[in-house]
């Protein structure tokens, strides 16, 4: 019998249920991931024990019953969170979202049949080994996403599965089986019925996958259901010496080249979303996209808001997009000026964005040296504690007022002039020198 090397806590929790006379298995994503040699995100256990019986078995442990309505008890088993759910049978689906009712079942097969894809129906326990009622293991071997049962029916029950199909295709590197793929495209309008938060969470996982370009091309109409602006990138040519892909191809290759965090992936996904609107072709047939960074930032802002991303995420992403085509600072003084305007987080983000942006252009290394220098500037600025912000300046508003500068706009202006003097090495960051210079400015 195969062993999937589950964490000891998972095996022990299953044994505890078995020793009380119940059936219990690890199920779904965690079995799929272990079979593929991947680290699961979370561990789910399915059992014929009713929620109250599960609670009794784990009464010595901390339990959270937030999901109890759906039959789920979360047990903190030696500090390890396990979601334990009673075998479920979903009732009729009438709204493309939720079953009208859920009932508990005594049959494992009922519980597995309600799951979305064959690769997500696998179960495992140390005593029974792998249980595979829907051919999930073979589909994993062949790297295939296939609906359990009739795809049209399964997608109309819960349209989020449409997005999950393409999300798993990206994250697992699987192809969507033909009938399932046709059904995804045929039914993609149903996504309109899904709460945007659920769409957002699947979309975020999708764009964080290592490889997304092919899947997004094949299933572009699905993404177009909730980001119609993105469809415009497809076939938007860039006849310039710098580009080799249309905006769609460039965007997704740039996305794949950046680290896999939601913020950085969202930045790349939307960094050129304003290009179709800004495209102008000159008399020589060369394309220009003047002002596209600002337009992209504005469009991204609307989309992120519509998709209910947190404001802090939208703020950072849009700031990066708005500034993504600024010239790189070429000297340490220019680096300090950049830092004074945008701060360290944006400075470091800019380097990553620019590197990824270049990676998807004709010459992937065109900016290597400039970007490496930007890193070195920051390192040295930090090490020497060099001043680039008003906070670090050795005089403040009170000091200036004490030598006669009036409170108000003048005060701010003088402080900023002083900071500039320090950044460009025209005045040392020392109180007496700064006050002297302040008085000169103020007289002017």
The footprint of ligand ATP (CB under 6 A) covers 28-29, 41-42, 44, 115-116, 120, 158, 160-161
Q: Total binding residues for Mg ion by CB under 5 A?
A: 3
| Smallest gap from residue 201 Cβ to ligand ATP (A) | 9
| Smallest gap from residue 116 Cβ to ligand ATP (A) | 4
Q: In this complex, which beta carbon is closest to Mg ion, that of residue 64 or of residue 244?
A: 64
Question: In the chain, what's the furthest Cα-to-Cα distance?
Answer: 89
d(CA 325, CA 293): 7
| Smallest gap from residue 28 Cβ to ligand ATP (A) | 3
| Smallest gap from residue 156 Cβ to ligand ATP (A) | 12
Which burial class, exposed, middle or buried, applies to 77 when counting CB atoms under 10 A from its CB (0-12, 13-18, 19+)?
Answer: buried
Torsion sign, CA atoms 386, 390, 392, 395: positive
Given Mg ion, ligand ATP, none, residue 421, with its beta carbon under 5 to 8 Å by kind, binds: none
| Smallest gap from residue 86 Cβ to ligand ATP (A) | 14
d(CA 395, CA 434): 7
Binding mask 40-79 vs Mg ion (x if CB under 5 A, - otherwise)?
-xx-------------------------------------
Q: In this complex, which beta carbon is closest to Mg ion, that of residue 29 or of residue 99?
A: 29
Given ligand ATP, Mg ion, none, residue 161, with its beta carbon under 5 to 8 Å by kind, binds: ligand ATP
Q: In this complex, which beta carbon is closest to ligand ATP, that of residue 56 or of residue 107?
A: 107
Token duo for residue 374:
């930007």
Q: Among residues 29, 136, 274, 349, which is the contact residue for Mg ion, using CB under 5 A?
A: 29
The secondary structure of residue 119, as a DSSP letter, is G
Q: In this complex, which beta carbon is closest to ligand ATP, that of residue 205 or of residue 352?
A: 205
Binding mask 152-171 vs Mg ion (x if CB under 5 A, - otherwise)?
--------------------
Given ligand ATP, Mg ion, none, residue 250, with its beta carbon under 5 to 8 Å by kind, binds: none
| Smallest gap from residue 125 Cβ to ligand ATP (A) | 16
| Smallest gap from residue 225 Cβ to ligand ATP (A) | 17
Choose one: 26-34, 121-129, 244-252, 388-396; the region binding Mg ion (CB under 5 A).
26-34
Q: In this complex, which beta carbon is closest to Mg ion, that of residue 7 or of residue 364?
A: 7
Given Mg ion, ligand ATP, none, residue 116, with its beta carbon under 5 to 8 Å by kind, binds: ligand ATP
312 phi-psi bin (left φ>0, alpha ψ -120 to 50, beta other): alpha
| Smallest gap from residue 88 Cβ to ligand ATP (A) | 10
Q: In this complex, which beta carbon is closest to Mg ion, that of residue 41 or of residue 398?
A: 41
* Residue 338 · residue 329 · CB < 8 Å: yes
Q: In this complex, which beta carbon is closest to Mg ion, that of residue 30 or of residue 378?
A: 30
Buried b vs exposed e over 86-95: b needs ≥16 C-beta within 10 Å?
Answer: bbbbbeebee
Q: In this complex, which beta carbon is closest to ligand ATP, that of residue 122 or of residue 422?
A: 122
| Smallest gap from residue 57 Cβ to ligand ATP (A) | 22
Contacts made by residues 210-213, CB under 8 angstroms, sequence distance 24+: 210/173, 210/256, 210/260, 211/170, 211/173, 211/256, 212/170, 212/252, 212/255, 212/256, 213/249, 213/252, 213/253, 213/256
* Residue 119 · residue 135 · CB < 8 Å: no
State the residue number with the nearest CB to ligand ATP: 29
| Smallest gap from residue 158 Cβ to ligand ATP (A) | 5
Given ligand ATP, Mg ion, none, residue 354, with its beta carbon under 5 to 8 Å by kind, binds: none
Q: In this complex, which beta carbon is closest to ligand ATP, that of residue 120 or of residue 267?
A: 120
Helix (H, G, I), strand (E, B) or coil at 50: coil
Q: In this complex, which beta carbon is closest to ligand ATP, that of residue 171 or of residue 325?
A: 171
Which burial class, exposed, middle or buried, applies to 8 when counting CB atoms under 10 A from its CB (0-12, 13-18, 19+)?
Answer: exposed
Given Mg ion, ligand ATP, none, residue 425, with its beta carbon under 5 to 8 Å by kind, binds: none
∠ CA 363-369-371 to the nearest 5 degrees? Answer: 95
Which burial class, exposed, middle or buried, applies to 153 when counting CB atoms under 10 A from its CB (0-12, 13-18, 19+)?
Answer: exposed
The secondary structure of residue 4, as a DSSP letter, is -
Give 290-359 as a DSSP string.
TTHHHHHHHHHHHHHHHTT--HHHHHHHHHHHHTTTSPPP-SHHHHHHHHHHHHHHHHHHHHHHHHHHHH
3-state helix, strand, coil in the chain (%, to 5): 55, 10, 35
d(CA 324, CA 229): 19
Binding site for Mg ion (CB under 5 A): 29, 41-42
């Amino acid at each position: 019998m195969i062993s999937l090397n589950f964490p000891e806590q998972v095996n022990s929790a299953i044994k505890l249920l078995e020793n009380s006379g119940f059936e219990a298995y690890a199920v779904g994503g965690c079995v799929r991931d272990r079979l593929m040699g991947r680290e699961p995100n979370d561990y789910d256990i399915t059992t014929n024990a009713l929620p109250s019986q599960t609670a009794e078995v784990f009464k010595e442990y901390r339990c959270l019953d937030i999901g109890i309505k759906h039959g789920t008890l979360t047990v903190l088993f030696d500090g390890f969170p396990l979601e334990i759910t009673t075998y479920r049978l979903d009732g009729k689906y009438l709204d493309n979202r939720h079953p009208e009712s859920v009932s508990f079942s005594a049959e494992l097969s009922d519980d597995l049949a309600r799951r979305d894809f064959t690769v997500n129906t696998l179960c495992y326990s140390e005593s029974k080994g792998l249980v595979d009622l829907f051919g999930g293991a073979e589909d994993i071997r062949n790297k295939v996403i296939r609906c359990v049962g009739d795809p049209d029916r399964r997608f109309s029950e819960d349209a989020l599965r449409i997005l999950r199909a393409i999300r798993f295709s990206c994250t697992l590197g699987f192809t969507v089986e033909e009938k399932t793929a046709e059904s995804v495209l045929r039914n993609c309008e149903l996504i309109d019925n899904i709460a945007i938060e659920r769409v957002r969470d699947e979309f975020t996982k999708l764009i964080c996958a290592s490889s997304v370009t092919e899947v997004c091309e094949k299933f572009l109409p699905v993404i177009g259901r909730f980001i119609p602006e993105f469809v415009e990138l497809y076939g938007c040519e860039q006849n310039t010496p710098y580009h080799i892909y249309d905006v769609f191809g460039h965007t997704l290759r740039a996305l794949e080249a950046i680290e896999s965090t939601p913020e950085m992936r969202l930045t790349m996904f939307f960094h050129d979303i304003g290009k179709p609107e800004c495209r102008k072709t000159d008399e020589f047939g060369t394309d220009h996209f003047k002002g596209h960074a600002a337009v992209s930032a504005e469009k991204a802002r609307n989309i992120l808001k519509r998709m209910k991303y947190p404001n802090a995420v939208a703020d950072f992403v849009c700031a990066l997009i708005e500034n993504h085509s600024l010239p790189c600072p070429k000297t340490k003084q220019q680096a300090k000026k950049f830092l004074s305007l945008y701060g360290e987080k944006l400075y470091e983000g800019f380097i990553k964005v620019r590197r990824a942006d270049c990676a998807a252009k004709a010459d992937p290394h065109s900016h290597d040296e400039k970007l490496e220098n930007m890193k070195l500037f920051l390192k040295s600025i930090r090490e020497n504690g060099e001043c680039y912000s008003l906070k670090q300046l050795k005089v403040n508003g009170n000091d200036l007022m004490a030598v006669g500068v009036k409170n108000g706009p003048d005060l701010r202006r003088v402080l900023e002039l002083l900071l500039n003097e320090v950044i460009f090495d025209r005045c040392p960051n020392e109180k007496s020198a700064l006050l002297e210079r302040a008085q000169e400015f103020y007289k002017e």
